[in-house]
A and B are shown apart, each in its own frame.
Chain A
Amino acid sequence: MSDTPVVRVVNLVKIYQTGGLPVPAVRGVDLTVEAGEFVAITGPSGSGKSTLVHMIGGLDTRSSGEIWLEGRRADTLSESGWAVLRREQIGFVFQFFNLVGNMTVADNVELPALLGGASPRHARERREYLLGELGLADRADAAPAQLSGGEQQRVALARALANQPRLLLADEPTGNLDSRNTRDVLRLLGRVHRQGQTIVLVTHDARVASMADRVVSLLDGQIVDDGAIPRVRRRPAGGAGDVVELRS
């Protein structure tokens, strides 16, 4: 792991114009995420959490400020520049899973690899591996609508990890799940994190946030608290046998 931070944002501002009225959603955020870090972003509803991660992933444009990914300036990229960057370096998991409805589970997971230029055979192998790891190998040919919420979110996670992104952005990935499914998804996130995956996770839920190395609290678009969580408070890790190689 190099010394350059995976994410560095400097004085990031986002102001929406709604009906001529400026609505500041993010007001001058400075944030650095080192490689391998697991950062949780919390805060009350409307505090700008989603807006912040959307800007980091290039889904939304910034009003001012800088975004550096892997030491490269990203906020000046064009829309398609961002798209190419996303497909190679960023994986997204959303609250509503956002699987492509008319594609099978297998197609959904293979899509990013194909988009990244992998051969169909390689994409298939990668998909088989990921779905196997997430316990969904037998659902490969199902349509997303046939899966439960937890299963859908696990597929979405497999899809986000398909291209071995440097950065995984998750916006309330458990916001729509019951507690059992929440536990499953969090266990998976913990597993990929232990293998070195850099994760930025948005959540309301203090218990979810407690899984992270570091919790950033937002209020009214500004960081009000940024602190590492002491190791002891972290959720006890599973046994050594629990570690599964998710990065081929």
Chain B
Amino acid sequence: MPRSAELRWIRADLRARRGQAGLTVLAVAGIVTALIVAATLLEGGTNPWRGLFERGHGAHIWIHSKDVPDVSALRGLPGVTDVAGPYRSAPATLATGGRRVPITLRETPAAFTSVARPLPREGRWLDPRAPDGVVVERSFARALGLRPGSPFTVTGLNGATHRLTVAGLAESGDQGFYPEWTPGLAWTLGQTLDVVEPAPGRTEAVTGLRLADPADTDLVVQRAVFTLRNQVQRVTTWREVRASMELDDRLLGLLLALFGVAGLVAAALALANAAGGRVLTQLRDIATLKSLGFTRGQVVRMLLAEHGTLGLLGIALGVLAARLVTAYAMGETVAVPLSAGPLAAIVAGTALAVLVAVLVPAWRGGRVPPLPAAPAAPPRGRLSRLARVALLVRLPPALVLGARDAFTRRTPAALTACGVALPMMLITIGLGCWATLDDFGRHPESVGQAAALSIRPGDMTAEEARQRVMADPDVVAAYPGAELDALVPWQTRTVRTRALGLSSDPYPFPVVEGRMFADRGEAVAGQGLLDLLGVRVGDRVRMTIGGTPLIVRIVGRVIEPEQDGEVLSFGLDSLAAKDALPPGFYALVLRPGADAAQVRARLQEQGLEVTRAVNPAERLAVVRVIIVALVVVLALIGLANLLTASALGLRDHVLDLAVLKAMGLTPRQVTATLVTAAGLPAAVGVVAGAAAGAFWSRALIDLEGRGSGVGAGIGRAPTPGMLAAALLIAIGAASLVALIPARRAARARVPVTAR
């Protein structure tokens, strides 16, 4: 098949519209970049292990042995590239603020090692001149409220107590997060360890092995255990560490998928508009090509190749830009590039969107009949009666003419409106997500977090603890609670049950369906639990808690951001006394406006173990970055669509301009006419898109909420202020974009055509 004719045409066309082609490539590249950066951030946020492990050059296998193992034998094992340690390590008990927590002290050199290097985050690293300074693993320090400079004491196995200080905090891909991974870890100098644990027989040696291929882990573990014979006490691998760090957040995943789809739609829209607009201006040329002997297939192939190549180029550029952005601009937050799976999904998804978007205009181009059409219709110099009347009653003529134009040429006007409405709708949905997140943050009680803090009594009795917290001026209420796992018939795993408050005085759960429990044997559940058990509000559920059977009736559904919504909540009095007393914790509702961090610090000083509720909005913070990026890209696409549309409109207008000027309109009035003609459908599109977005965003977010188990009822429409600002900005930007080509056209000399 003679391809060279097609290539010649593609080359000529691309050369004739370099600017537009460049914009198309940039739009697609922008979307791909935004998607990849978002996915990278998400991956890093929900699974920090990869980044930590990569940066710290972690060891895949840790071998705990009684004595120092044969390092050269371990190093010689096939698949092992490097060895960390062996380091001595000793158990101890940490005491701070009246609490006693087990801790592991691990010897580490003051100079950084090449393998299994902890990553200092705050404060200083170990210093031989200050041997009582230790570096504490960050998640552990946070849980205990330790900061750089905080003093604490440790008690060794021999019962002797030593005062140490926190020199700094560090993270490591070799140590899981506390409390999923216990005991907590502190890195110390060898001399410090000698002081705490002088008996050599009570320390163990830990040795890290870094592998060439993580898939070899099991094999190397076997070989290492065999090589070291009976010395090995226990082995941990990177898989357990990773599991302790992974955050499984379905809502986040779903929201991101929503934005991914929005991004793909946007990419498709950008391309469809560019390709479609181009093909529309080329119908005459395409007819000529067909009269020369181009077949329909050739035309379709040619258009597909041209516009598809632009799209693919945009994807390639986007992948490259995303690599650069994550490596340089966000080098601090992003340690490792996106893994292959999501990257491939994004690339394949956009490629598919590109193909679909280009297929329609290409097919349309292929259907053009080969008949030679006369050039654009001659000017129609007559005004409608309506317009003449309007001129007579002295309405601004530009407005009348522009409006007449917008409504007489319906198809282009509809295209303009759609090209603006779709991005606007997606932007509005994005704003709805933003409003939802804001609402999470502003009204934590509406997502089940009326209690900002919860305390565990620790060493004291429950009653004592309750009295201490109620003494605090900022604590309004303390609901006794217990969290227990329940066995449900037909389920292989347990579900989380939460007894909180009493049936007569229930914790303020956000009930969105049914009612709050008000009696023993009544419960409320999250959407996730209802889905898991296949039950509805009103059904009875039978379960076993701590060996005691319990039958509850689910009387309501609550918004449940924890455990993917798979939580059942009821009053403490529904539990058997042995499980209910004493309560395991108290959920503290604070005075409105109280600073949770301050209250927490005060309570910690009283020797209480205080945890702060993590608001879903914090975990979903990455979504905000994505919303901003997508809004920017979508806005650009909307404006690009408008630019294409107004360029198309102007092409048809060249001859009308002569008439307008002949009628005595000044250049300014001509400009105003053209801006009205392009701006009116755009404004209609903006308003329609915003309305559709505002209408849909709530339902869509609720759908996401339902799918994630949190449950419907979280969705918020964008606030009126947000919506108004978005509308104003969009319409303003649209008018500006319409103004540029209109001014140029109004200034240009009216072409004198022979046709």
Binding site for B on A (CB under 8 A): 54, 57-60, 79-80, 83-88, 92, 94-96, 98-104, 107, 110-112, 114-118, 120, 123, 149, 159, 171, 176
Annotate B115-129 by CB proximity to A: 1 below 8 A, 0 otherwise.
Answer: 000000000000000
In the complex, what's the smallest C-beta–C-beta distance from B654 to chain A, in angstroms? Answer: 13
Residues of chain A with a CB closer than 8 A to B375's CB:
96
Q: Can you list 12 A-B contacts (CB < 8 A)?
A: A59-B291, A80-B297, A86-B291, A98-B372, A100-B289, A107-B12, A112-B293, A114-B4, A114-B5, A115-B294, A171-B372, A176-B755
In the complex, what's the smallest C-beta–C-beta distance from A97 to chain B, in angstroms? Answer: 9
Annotate B271-297 by CB proximity to A: 1 below 8 A, 0 otherwise.
Answer: 000000000000011011111111111
Residue B91 lies at the interface, judged by CB distance under 8 Å to chain A: no
Interface centre among B15, B290, B297 (most CB of A within 10 A): B290
For the complex of A and B, the 9 pairs showing the least CB-CB separation, nearest first, are: A87-B293, A102-B16, A80-B295, A114-B5, A115-B5, A83-B295, A103-B12, A86-B293, A98-B288
The answer to whether A114 touches B2, judged by C-beta atoms less than 8 angstroms apart, is yes
The answer to whether A107 touches B291, judged by C-beta atoms less than 8 angstroms apart, is no
Which of chain B's residues 336-380 have a Cβ closer than 8 Å to chain A?
Answer: 369-372, 374-375
The answer to whether A111 touches B369, judged by C-beta atoms less than 8 angstroms apart, is no
Give Cα A84–Cα B292 distance, bound, in whole angstroms.
9
Give Cα A100–Cα B282 distance, bound, in whole angstroms.
9
Known A54-B371, A117-B2: A111·B295 in contact at CB below 8 Å? no
Known A98-B372, A104-B12: A80·B296 in contact at CB below 8 Å? yes
Of B15, B291, B294, the contact of A98 (CB 8 Å cutoff) = B291
Known: A86-B291, A117-B2. 12 other contacts (CB 8 A): A58-B370, A59-B370, A79-B296, A83-B370, A85-B293, A96-B375, A98-B291, A100-B289, A102-B17, A111-B292, A114-B5, A115-B294
The answer to whether A92 touches B4, judged by C-beta atoms less than 8 angstroms apart, is no
Known A98-B372, A111-B5, A114-B2: A86·B292 in contact at CB below 8 Å? yes
Give Cα A112–Cα B8 distance, bound, in whole angstroms.
11
Interface centre among A110, A115, A117, A149 (most CB of B within 10 A): A115
Interface centre among A114, A120, A176 (most CB of B within 10 A): A114
Residues of chain B with a CB closer than 8 A to A102's CB:
12-13, 15-17, 285
The answer to whether A120 touches B4, judged by C-beta atoms less than 8 angstroms apart, is yes
Residues of chain B with a CB closer than 8 A to A95's CB:
372, 374
Give Cα A8–Cα B631 distance, bound, in whole angstroms.
64
Residues of chain B with a CB closer than 8 A to A79's CB:
295-296
Residues of chain A with a CB closer than 8 A to B112's CB:
none
Residues of chain B with a CB closer than 8 A to A99's CB:
288
Annotate B15-59 by CB proximity to A: 1 below 8 A, 0 otherwise.
Answer: 111000000000000000000000000000000000000000000
Q: Which residue of B lies closest to A57 (CB)?
A: B291
Give Cα A50–Cα B12 distance, bound, in whole angstroms.
30
Residues of chain A with a CB closer than 8 A to B284's CB:
98
The answer to whether A92 touches B291, judged by C-beta atoms less than 8 angstroms apart, is yes
Give Cα A123–Cα B5 distance, bound, in whole angstroms.
10
In the complex, what's the smallest C-beta–C-beta distance from B753 to chain A, in angstroms? Answer: 11
Residue B226 lies at the interface, judged by CB distance under 8 Å to chain A: no
In the complex, what's the smallest C-beta–C-beta distance from A214 to chain B, in angstroms? Answer: 25
Q: Inter-chain contact count A-B, CB under 8 Å?
A: 98
Residues of chain B with a CB closer than 8 A to A88's CB:
293
Residues of chain B with a CB closer than 8 A to A103's CB:
8-9, 12
Q: Which residue of A lies closest to B7 (CB)?
A: A114
Residues of chain A with a CB closer than 8 A to B199's CB:
none
Give Cα A79–Cα B12 distance, bound, in whole angstroms.
26
Residues of chain A with a CB closer than 8 A to B285's CB:
100-102
Give Cα A176–Cα B753 distance, bound, in whole angstroms.
12
In the complex, what's the smallest C-beta–C-beta distance from A145 to chain B, in angstroms? Answer: 11
Give Cα A125–Cα B284 distance, bound, in whole angstroms.
28
Annotate B740-755 by CB proximity to A: 1 below 8 A, 0 otherwise.
Answer: 0000000000000011
Give Cα A92–Cα B15 distance, bound, in whole angstroms.
27
Q: Which residue of A lies closest to B286 (CB)?
A: A100
In the complex, what's the smallest C-beta–C-beta distance from B297 to chain A, in angstroms? Answer: 6
Annotate B456-485 by CB proximity to A: 1 below 8 A, 0 otherwise.
Answer: 000000000000000000000000000000
Known A102-B285, A115-B2: A83·B9 in contact at CB below 8 Å? no
Q: Which residue of A lies closest to B4 (CB)?
A: A114
The answer to whether B372 touches A94, judged by C-beta atoms less than 8 angstroms apart, is yes
Annotate B639-664 by CB proximity to A: 1 below 8 A, 0 otherwise.
Answer: 00000000000000000000000000
In the complex, what's the smallest C-beta–C-beta distance from B527 to chain A, in angstroms? Answer: 56
The answer to whether A110 touches B8, judged by C-beta atoms less than 8 angstroms apart, is yes
Residues of chain A with a CB closer than 8 A to B296's CB:
79-80, 83
The answer to whether A83 touches B290, judged by C-beta atoms less than 8 angstroms apart, is yes
Give Cα A95–Cα B289 distance, bound, in whole angstroms.
16
Give Cα A98–Cα B452 distance, bound, in whole angstroms.
75
The answer to whether B12 touches A87, judged by C-beta atoms less than 8 angstroms apart, is no
In the complex, what's the smallest C-beta–C-beta distance from B520 to chain A, in angstroms? Answer: 78
Give Cα A232–Cα B298 distance, bound, in whole angstroms.
48
Residues of chain A with a CB closer than 8 A to B4's CB:
114, 120, 123
The answer to whether A92 touches B8, judged by C-beta atoms less than 8 angstroms apart, is no
The answer to whether B9 touches A111, judged by C-beta atoms less than 8 angstroms apart, is yes
Give Cα A80–Cα B367 distance, bound, in whole angstroms.
12
Residues of chain B with a CB closer than 8 A to A96's CB:
372, 374-375, 755
Residues of chain B with a CB closer than 8 A to A84's CB:
293, 295
Give Cα A149–Cα B375 distance, bound, in whole angstroms.
14
The answer to whether A107 touches B292, judged by C-beta atoms less than 8 angstroms apart, is no
Residues of chain B with a CB closer than 8 A to A111's CB:
5, 8-9, 289, 292
Residues of chain A with a CB closer than 8 A to B8's CB:
103, 107, 110-111, 114
Give Cα A114–Cα B10 distance, bound, in whole angstroms.
13
Residues of chain A with a CB closer than 8 A to B294's CB:
83, 87, 115
Residues of chain B with a CB closer than 8 A to A83's CB:
290, 293-296, 298, 370
Give Cα A104–Cα B293 distance, bound, in whole angstroms.
19
Residues of chain A with a CB closer than 8 A to B371's CB:
54, 59-60
The answer to whether A159 touches B374, judged by C-beta atoms less than 8 angstroms apart, is no
Residues of chain B with a CB closer than 8 A to A86's CB:
291-293
Residues of chain B with a CB closer than 8 A to A112's CB:
5, 292-293
Give Cα A206–Cα B13 distance, bound, in whole angstroms.
40
The answer to whether B369 touches A92, judged by C-beta atoms less than 8 angstroms apart, is no
Residues of chain B with a CB closer than 8 A to A58's CB:
370
Residues of chain B with a CB closer than 8 A to A59's CB:
290-291, 369-372
Q: Which residue of B lies closest to A54 (CB)?
A: B371
Residues of chain A with a CB closer than 8 A to B2's CB:
114-118
Residues of chain B with a CB closer than 8 A to A123's CB:
4
Give Cα A94–Cα B754 distance, bound, in whole angstroms.
16
In the complex, what's the smallest C-beta–C-beta distance from A156 to chain B, in angstroms? Answer: 10
Interface centre among B16, B292, B370, B371 (most CB of A within 10 A): B292
Which of chain B's residues 704-755 have a Cβ closer than 8 Å to chain A?
Answer: 754-755
Give Cα A94–Cα B288 distance, bound, in whole angstroms.
10
In the complex, what's the smallest C-beta–C-beta distance from A200 to chain B, in angstroms? Answer: 15
The answer to whether B9 touches A100, judged by C-beta atoms less than 8 angstroms apart, is yes
Residues of chain B with a CB closer than 8 A to A104's CB:
12
The answer to whether A159 touches B12, judged by C-beta atoms less than 8 angstroms apart, is no
In the complex, what's the smallest C-beta–C-beta distance from B18 to chain A, in angstroms? Answer: 11
Residues of chain B with a CB closer than 8 A to A115's CB:
2, 5, 292-294
